[in-house]
C-alpha cells in the first residue's frame, strides 16, 4: 500500500518511517510539511493512505480533510500526540472524512507500534475491498406482530459523523421512532461518539449492548469491532462472522439481520462512505418494502456506499442529510396517523 505522511513533526515522521518499514508491502510515497502541501500532493500523487497530524500550521486538520475529500479523496488515518485530549477535534476530522485516529508511539513503545500497524492494515483491507460487492443472504418472511415501534436504521462510514449529527439534530425530542446507527469506527471511540452525538441532538444516545431492544425515541450506536445484528427475538447481539469482512462493524450484516428479523417495514438510510458496505443490505430492505434512502452525491464526503446502493436500484429516495431528517419525520407521522401495523 502506498502511504503518505502530512503535517507531523520531524521526530514523528522518523518514528512513522521506522514502524512502516516493518511491513515491506507498504511504501512511503511522500511527506508533506503542512496542509496546503498535503492537499497539493494528494492531487498530484494520491496515496492509498494518508497519515495526517492534527496540528496544522496553515489550516486545521478538518479543513484539510474536507479539501482532500473534495479534490482527491483517499483514506486518512489521523496520527496524534494524545488524541484523548483533543477528542472534539478528532470527531470533527472524522466527520469530515478521516477513517480513524491513533497516537504516534513513543520510541520503544511496541504496543503503540503494533496498534498503529493494526489500524494501517485494517484500512488497507477496507481500501482493497472498496470495489468488491458483498453477496447477501435471502430475505426471510416473518409473521406480523403488533405494537412494534417504527424503526430507523442508519449506516455510515467516511464522513459519517457529520451527516449523522445533521440528521439527529434536526429531529424533535419527542421523535417516536427507535434509531440504530452503524458507523465504521474502532470500538474505542464508540462511547465518545455516542456522547458527542447526544450533546448535539435532543434525543438520548447510547451505545448498543447485547440484549438491548428497540426503544422509541432513543438512538443506539454499534459499539464493538464485531458486527451488530438484530436477532429473531428482536434484541441486539454481536457476532465475529464474517471474520474476513474488512468493514467492522458492517452495515450490510446489520441491515440483512433487520430484513430477516423485523416484520414491520420502516426506514433505512445509507450515508457517505468508502466502498460498498450497506448497498446489498439496503437492497434487501428495499425488497422487504422498506423506505430506503441514500445520501446524495453533493453532500457526501465520499460518494462510495450511497453510489453502490443507487447502482443496485436499492434507494427509493436520494437526499442530503437535512432532507433525510424531513423524510424521517414525514414517514413516522404517516405511520402513527394510520392503523397500527405489525
The catalytic residue positions are 157, 184, 277
Q: What is the DSSP letter of 299?
A: G
How far apart, in whole angstroms, are the C-alpha atoms of residue 211 and residue 58? 48
Beta carbons of 178 and 205 less than 8 angstroms apart: no
How far apart, in whole angstroms, are the C-alpha atoms of residue 120 and residue 7? 18
Which of 233, 242, 238, 299 has the alpha carbon at shortest distance from 269?
A: 299
How far apart, in whole angstroms, are the C-alpha atoms of residue 54 and residue 63? 11
Q: What is the largest CA-CA distance in the chain?
A: 65
Which of 282, 277, 295 has the alpha carbon at shortest distance from 139?
A: 282
How far apart, in whole angstroms, are the C-alpha atoms of residue 110 and residue 118? 12
> Phi first, then psi: what are they for 69, rounded to 5°?
-65, -30
Beta carbons of 293 and 318 less than 8 angstroms apart: yes
Cell 514523528, located at residue:
12
How far apart, in whole angstroms, are the C-alpha atoms of residue 242 and residue 317? 29
How far apart, in whole angstroms, are the C-alpha atoms of residue 307 and residue 315? 10
Q: Listing from the earlier edge strand, what are the strands of the sheet with 205-207? A: 205-207, 218-221, 178-183, 151-156, 267-270, 291-295, 317-319
Cell 513513543, located at residue:
106
- In sign, the C-alpha dihedral spanning 306, 41, 57, 90 is positive
Beta carbons of 314 and 286 less than 8 angstroms apart: yes
Amino acid at each position: 500500500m502506498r502511504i503518505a505522511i502530512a503535517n507531523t513533526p520531524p521526530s514523528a515522521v522518523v518514528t512513522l518511517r521506522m514502524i512502516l518499514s516493518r511491513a515491506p508491502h507498504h511504501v512511503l510515497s511522500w511527506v508533506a510539511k503542512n496542509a496546503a502541501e498535503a492537499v497539493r500532493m494528494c492531487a498530484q500523487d494520491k496515496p492509498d493512505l494518508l497519515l495526517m497530524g492534527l496540528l496544522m500550521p496553515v489550516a486545521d486538520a478538518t479543513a484539510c480533510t474536507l479539501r482532500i475529500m473534495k479534490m482527491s479523496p483517499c483514506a486518512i488515518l489521523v496520527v496524534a500526540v494524545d488524541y484523548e485530549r483533543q477528542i472534539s477535534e478528532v470527531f470533527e476530522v472524522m466527520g469530515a472524512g478521516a477513517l480513524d485516529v491513533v497516537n504516534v508511539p513513543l520510541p520503544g513503545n511496541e504496543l503503540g507500534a503494533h496498534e498503529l500497524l493494526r489500524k494501517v492494515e485494517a484500512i488497507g483491507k477496507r481500501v482493497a475491498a472498496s470495489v468488491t460487492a458483498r453477496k447477501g443472504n435471502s430475505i426471510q418472511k416473518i409473521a406480523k406482530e403488533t405494537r412494534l415501534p417504527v424503526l430507523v436504521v442508519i449506516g455510515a462510514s467516511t464522513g459519517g459523523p457529520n451527516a449523522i449529527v445533521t440528521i439527529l439534530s434536526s429531529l424533535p425530542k419527542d421523535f417516536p421512532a427507535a434509531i440504530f446507527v452503524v458507523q465504521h469506527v474502532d470500538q474505542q471511540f464508540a462511547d465518545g461518539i455516542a456522547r458527542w452525538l447526544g450533546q448535539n441532538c435532543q434525543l438520548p444516545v447510547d451505545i448498543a449492548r447485547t440484549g438491548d431492544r428497540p426503544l422509541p425515541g432513543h438512538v443506539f450506536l454499534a459499539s464493538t469491532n464485531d458486527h451488530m445484528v438484530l436477532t429473531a427475538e428482536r434484541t441486539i447481539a454481536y457476532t465475529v462472522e464474517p471474520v474476513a469482512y474488512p468493514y467492522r462493524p458492517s452495515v450490510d450484516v446489520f441491515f440483512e439481520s433487520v430484513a430477516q428479523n423485523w416484520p414491520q417495514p420502516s426506514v433505512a438510510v445509507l450515508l457517505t462512505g468508502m466502498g460498498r458496505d450497506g448497498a446489498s443490505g439496503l437492497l434487501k430492505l428495499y425488497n422487504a418494502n422498506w423506505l430506503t434512502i441514500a445520501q446524495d452525491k453533493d453532500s457526501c464526503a465520499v460518494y462510495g456506499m450511497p453510489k453502490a446502493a443507487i447502482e443496485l436500484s436499492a434507494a427509493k429516495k436520494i437526499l442530503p442529510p437535512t432532507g433525510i431528517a424531513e423524510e424521517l419525520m414525514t414517514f413516522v407521522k404517516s405511520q402513527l396517523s394510520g392503523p397500527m401495523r405489525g
